[in-house]
Amino acid sequence: MVDALAANRTAIAAWLEQAGHKVTQAATGAQALSAVRTLQPDLILLDIDLPDIDGFTVCERIKGDPATEAIPVVHLTATAVEATDRTQGLDRGADAYLTGPIEPEVLLATVHAVLRYARARQEERRLALTLQEALLPDALPEVPGVDLAARYVPATAHTEVGGDFYEVLPLGDRLLVAIGDVMGHSPHAAVVMGEIRHALRAYAFEGHPVGHVLGHINRLLIHFHPAEMATVSLLSLDPVTGDVRAANAGHLPPLLVAGGQADYVPLPGPLLGGDLRRPEDTTMWIPPGGTLVLVTDGLVERRGESLEAGLERLRELSAHVDDDLEAYCDRILSALMPLDHEDDVALVVLRRGSP
């Protein structure tokens, strides 16, 4: 409860506590922002006229922070009562706008309705995450001559589920490795991700070259999900020779670490979802002891920063490969992924064995 007047805070807190709610009070915008960040409340009642920062700005800051953006905010004011005030409050992020004087029953009914909606959104995200995790590999295969490690990290708890995925699949004497990202954040993105992953496995199992696999998936996506787009990087590795055939659909290039150097391997190709000509497959070679690092953009993109800067940071950090690839993945994630990351992240690392 945020209000500059102690009498208002006391009265409203009493109504809420009688209804079974626990209330923390703040008298200024700065106090409110600090408490919200620390306590992560279920809901914020926020006055407009505060002595330091107006309530519109406080709400905007709460909604602009990935760690707090999903917390519902209800403006409660006896002064900013014009239609323009209400419009500004809702446009700048508030979930509801109440003007005083207000009856306790109306306030409590609004609080309960907003909380009910917020909890429904949380449950929707929980179910979407469960679906997404069920569509990812249960475990990495054991492949002679290749060390493997992978991670999938969902976005912060207050961000919608995304469509990042990876696949590592032995096929005969070769190893299929894929990483991709369905654009957007929603349960539907997770569903499309699952369809792409299963189609990828089916076409690869039939023996299609990697470029043809992406071509078939592209046609499926255009036909069944014409509004969706996705990026995929697909590689077929011979573990014995280190030879790789690769095809790309708009995804970030793989990073090859070998001989003390870390360099990106250019892989051309348009993203999935458009009727565009696809280039021929690319061939590359992983030398003995060489390591290939595949990531999705959530690991390297930052607001206000170029993608190239994020890729360079990853390249520098990945140049030294730990003996333990699990530790290598953990080190990369802890260094590059902020606690309040707004996008999900997939990471696949494979190392060819030394002779």
Which string of b and e fits 180-191 if b means at least 16 CB within 10 Å? Answer: bbbbbbbbbbbb
Print pLDDT tens along the chain (355 aa): 999 999 999 999 999 999 999 999 999 999 999 999 999 999 999 999 999 999 999 999 999 887 888 899 999 999 999 999 999 999 999 999 999 888 999 999 999 999 999 888 888 777 766 766 776 777 899 999 999 999 988 876 555 566 889 999 999 999 999 999 998 767 777 788 889 999 999 999 999 999 999 999 999 999 999 999 999 999 999 999 999 999 999 999 999 999 889 999 999 999 999 999 999 999 999 999 999 999 999 899 888 889 999 999 999 999 999 999 999 999 999 999 876 666 789 999 999 997 6
Structural domains in the chain plus CATH codes: 6-128 (3.40.50.2300), 136-352 (3.60.40.10)
Closest CA to 159 of 117, 116, 122, 134: 122
Q: Are strands 73-77 and 44-46 parallel, antiparallel or unpaired?
A: parallel
- How far from chain centre, in Å, is Cα 182? 11
Closest CA to 167 of 13, 348, 300, 3: 348
**Is the Cβ–Cβ distance between 258 and 220 less than 8 Å?**
no
Closest CA to 197 of 182, 211, 186: 182
**Is the Cβ–Cβ distance between 195 and 232 less than 8 Å?**
no
